[in-house]
Amino acid sequence: MCGICAYQGPETKAVEIVIEALKRLEYRGYDSWGIAYKPAHLDQNKPQEIEIYKEVGKIGDFKSSYDQFGKSSFAIGHSRWATHGGVTKRNAHPHISENKEIVLVHNGIFENYLNFKKYLEKKAHTFKTETDTEVIAHLIEEHYKTHSFEDSVKLAVKEIEGRYAILVINNKDNTMIAARKGSPLIIGVGKSKGEYFIASDIPAFLPYTNKVVYLDDNQMVIVENQKIRFFDNSTQQAIEKRIIEIDWDIESAEKGDFDHFMLKEIMEQKDTLSRSINQDPITINKVARAIENAHGTYLVGCGTAGKVCMVAEYLFAKIAHKHINFSFGSEFPYHQQFINNKTLLIAVSQSGETADTLEALEVAQKKGAKIISIVNVEGSTMARMSDIVIPIKAGPEKAVASTKATTSQLAILTMLAYACDGGVEKGKQLLIATAGQINDMLNPRYENHIRKLARKIRKIESMYIIGRGANFPMALEAAIKLQEVSYIHAEGFAGGELKHGPIALISEGTPVIALVPNDETTKEIISNATEIKARGGYIIGVSSENHPVFDYWIRVPDTGATSPIINIIPIQILAYQLAVLRKNNPDMPRNLAKSVTVK
Ligand code: F6R
C-alpha cells in the first residue's frame, strides 16, 4: 500500500533507478505515481530547482525514454494508493510546499492534518490538493523559516499523529531525510561510496544491494555528504544502527518465465513447505512451552492470515487438545480486558507490517503479554516487536493474493500443534510427506484439469464453498482467493450452517465447492453437498476420492491432518485461472494492496 523509494549516489541515472524500483514495488498496490529529482547539471552551490513528474495509472505504461529527465544522482519516488483526495495527477506524490522549498512523499495517514491545514492557511499557505501529505510539506516549510532543514523535519514529526513513513528533500542541498512510525522504511547501503537507497521494501533496491538497515518506529535517517546518520525522535538522541546482509536474491523477487507472480508463487509451493518446516527445534520447543505456560493464547492475523489462525484453532484442539483463541487483528483491541502479562499473542503475517495486526501487538505489549510472530518478511516491524520469531521462509511474495505464504503458515502452525503434543517429529514427517505430495500434484495436467473447470464457470456471478472442521476456515479462505482475483461473488460457509439460511441462495447450476477431506467430517460434508445438489447446485468436490454427488472432481492426495494445506492449492489455481480468463490482473487486483499499512 503506497511505495517509497529514493536514490542518492554516484550514478547519474537516479531517475531510472527510482522508476524501476517503483515498478518492483507495484505489487504493493497503487493508483498513481510520481518522482522528484535534481538535474545533475545544475550548479551544486546554488539553490536547486527540484523537478517533479507525476502520472495516474500503471508505471508499466510509462514507455517514454529516461533521456527526457537528463542526468541525475538524486531522486525520490512514490506510488500512491489514494486515501485523502481522488486518484489524480495533482494528488499524486511528491508534494511541494508553498515556496517550493520542500518536497515530500508520504505513506500512511496524517490523522490531525486538518488542524494544521487551518493553522497554515492562517499563515497564508494555499493548498492545491486535498491530500494530508501536502500539509506536511507546508508544515516543514513553515518550520524551515526559522530552523535548519533537519530540525524542521524533527519538529514536524513530533506534530504528526498517525502511522506514517515520510521522505523529505529541500531545494538548497542534497540532504534526504526519512522518518517512520508504523509504516516500513528500509535503507539500502550501495556498493559504491556514498550510495544509498531508501524504500518501503527490499525488492525496490535488491538488484543493487543486499545490505540493509531497518528503520524502527520513531527513528529518522539523514543522508547527507555521502554519509548516513540516525536519530531517535522519542529520545532526541543520535543512534547507531546495524547493517544487515539479507539472503534474498533478485531472481526470487522476479517473475522469471511465469506470466504472473501469482502463478509463480503457487508453483513455488513445491519447495516452500519444506523450507518453512526446516526450523530450529529449540525455537519450536520454546514456542510450544510458551503456549503450555500461557494463561490464554491468542492467534492474531488479518484476511488470509486470519483464516490460517482459525484453522490452527481446530488443529490445536484436535492434535494438542489445547484451546487457543483467535481474533482478527482489527478485533483484538476489543478483547483487551482479558489480556495480561501471562497472555501469549501469536501474530501470523506475511508482510509483518499489517496495521491492524500491529495494533494488536501494541495492545498486547502494553498489557505485558508475550509476543511471538510467524512472519515472512525478515526484519519487519512485527518481527522486531516480538519475543520470539518463527520465519516463514517462503521468499518474497509479490502477488497481492497470498498463496505460498499461506500454506507455509499453515505448515508451521501444524508443526507447533504437534510440538505442543510432544510430537514435533511426527508433525514434521507428516509435513515432509505433504510437501512431496504437493510436488507431484503441481503439474501441467493438473493445471489443465482446473482450467477446464474455470472455462465452465467463468461467467457465473456467485459461487459458494463449504467445509467442516479445519476445512471450514479454508472454505472462507477459498472465498477470499476467488473474490480478490476473479471478482466473482464467493462466500464460504461451515457445511452445517447452510440449512440455517444460505441454502436459499442455491438455484439451478449454482457452483458450490465442497472441501471433502478423509476424516471425521467426510460423511457430514458429503451430506451437505447432497442437500445442495437437491436444490440444483453444481457440486465441485475437492477430495482424494470421487463421490457420486460430485459434478466435477478435483483430486487431491489424502494427507490426513494437513488437508487444509492440500485443499486450498487447487482453489488458488482455480482463482488464478478465472482471473486470467476474465481478463483481470491476478497480481494486482482492483482496490487491493499487498501490504495493508492503514487501519
Ligand atoms: C489475501 C491476502 C490478505 C492478507 C492480509 C494480511 O490473499 O493476502 O488477506 O492475508 O492483508 O496480510 P499479512 O499476512 O501481510 O499480515
Report CA(232)–ligand 1 centroid distance (Å): 30
Q: Are residues 551 and 505 in the same domain?
A: yes
Question: How confident is the model over 274-287, as pLDDT tens digits?
Answer: 999 999 999 999 99
Reply yes or no on whether the pLDDT at 573 is more than 90.
yes
Report CA(318)–ligand 1 centroid distance (Å): 26
Q: Which atom of ligand 1 is nearest to the CA of 382?
A: 16
Residues above pLDDT 70, as percent of the chain: 98
- Find out whether the beta carbon of 406 lies less than 6 Å from any atom of ligand 1: no
Question: How confident is the model over 339-389, as pLDDT tens digits?
Answer: 999 999 999 999 999 999 999 999 999 999 999 999 999 888 999 999 999
Query: Do residues 461 and 434 touch, judged by C-beta distance below 8 A?
Result: no
Q: Which residue puts its alpha carbon closest to atom 5 of ligand 1?
A: 303
Which pLDDT does position 153 carry in this prediction?
Answer: 97
Q: Are residues 159 and 205 in the same domain?
A: yes
Q: Are residues 234 and 272 in the same domain?
A: no
Mean pLDDT, the chain, whole residue set: 93
Other C-beta atoms lying within 10 Å of the C-beta of residue 406: 32
- Find out whether the beta carbon of 351 lies less than 6 Å from any atom of ligand 1: yes
- Residue 593 resides in a domain: no
Catalytic residue among 2, 302, 309, 420: 2
Which pLDDT does position 45 carry in this prediction?
Answer: 57
Closest to 5 (Cα-Cα) out of 61, 77, 60: 77
Q: Are residues 426 and 488 in the same domain?
A: no
For the question of residue 367 being annotated catalytic, the response is no
Reply yes or no on whether the pLDDT at 41 is more than 70.
no
Cell 460423511 belongs to which residue? 523
Which pLDDT does position 570 carry in this prediction?
Answer: 98
Which pLDDT does position 594 carry in this prediction?
Answer: 77
Q: Which residues are registered as beta bridge partners of 345?
A: 298, 371
Report CA(372)–ligand 1 centroid distance (Å): 18
Reply yes or no on whether the pLDDT at 62 is more than 80.
no
Per DSSP, helices labelled H in 342-443 are 355-366, 381-385, 404-420, 424-441
Q: Are residues 485 and 396 in the same domain?
A: no
Range 65-92 average pLDDT:
89
Query: Do residues 74 and 174 touch, judged by C-beta distance below 8 A?
Result: yes
Query: Do residues 109 and 132 touch, judged by C-beta distance below 8 A?
Result: yes
- Residue 598 resides in a domain: no
Report CA(587)–ligand 1 centroid distance (Å): 13
Q: Which residues are registered as beta bridge partners of 76?
A: 6, 36
Q: Based on the structure, what is the number of domains in the chain?
A: 3
Range 39-49 average pLDDT:
64
- Structural domain including 384 reads 261-440
Reply yes or no on whether the pLDDT at 42 is more than 70.
no
- Find out whether the beta carbon of 364 lies less than 6 Å from any atom of ligand 1: no
Which pLDDT does position 63 carry in this prediction?
Answer: 72
Reply yes or no on whether the pLDDT at 1 is more than 70.
no
- Find out whether the beta carbon of 521 lies less than 6 Å from any atom of ligand 1: no
For the question of residue 2 being annotated catalytic, the response is yes
Can the peptide bond before residue 557 be classed as cis, meaning omega within 30 degrees of 0?
Answer: no
Range 216-229 average pLDDT:
93
- Residue 277 resides in a domain: yes
pLDDT-derived band at 68 (thresholds 50, 70, 90) equals confident
Report CA(338)–ligand 1 centroid distance (Å): 26
Which pLDDT does position 48 carry in this prediction?
Answer: 64
Q: Which atom of ligand 1 is nearest to the CA of 596?
A: 11
Question: How confident is the model over 446-469, as pLDDT tens digits?
Answer: 999 999 999 999 999 999 999 999
Q: Domain ends where: 235, 252, 269?
A: 252
Question: How confident is the model over 486-545, as pLDDT tens digits?
Answer: 999 999 999 999 999 999 999 999 999 999 999 999 999 999 999 999 999 999 999 999
Q: Which residues are registered as beta bridge partners of 479?
A: none
- Residue 465 resides in a domain: yes
- Find out whether the beta carbon of 377 lies less than 6 Å from any atom of ligand 1: no
Q: Identify the CATH number of the domain in which residue 494 sits.
A: 3.40.50.10490
pLDDT-derived band at 113 (thresholds 50, 70, 90) equals confident
Question: How confident is the model over 306-326, as pLDDT tens digits?
Answer: 999 999 999 999 999 999 999
- Find out whether the beta carbon of 357 lies less than 6 Å from any atom of ligand 1: yes
- Residue 594 resides in a domain: no
Report CA(595)–ligand 1 centroid distance (Å): 7
- Find out whether the beta carbon of 597 lies less than 6 Å from any atom of ligand 1: no
- Residue 179 resides in a domain: yes
Which is higher by pLDDT, 63 or 327? 327
Question: How confident is the model over 535-556, as pLDDT tens digits?
Answer: 999 999 999 999 999 999 999 9
Which pLDDT does position 271 carry in this prediction?
Answer: 92
Query: Do residues 448 and 413 touch, judged by C-beta distance below 8 A?
Result: no
Residue of 376, 378, 595, 596 to test ligand 1 pocket, by largest number of atoms within 8 Å of CB: 596
Q: Are residues 221 and 279 in the same domain?
A: no
Which pLDDT does position 592 carry in this prediction?
Answer: 84
- Find out whether the beta carbon of 305 lies less than 6 Å from any atom of ligand 1: yes
Q: Domain ends where: 252, 275, 301?
A: 252
- Find out whether the beta carbon of 309 lies less than 6 Å from any atom of ligand 1: no
- Find out whether the beta carbon of 349 lies less than 6 Å from any atom of ligand 1: yes
Q: Domain ends where: 384, 405, 440?
A: 440
Q: Which residue puts its alpha carbon closest to atom 16 of ligand 1?
A: 349
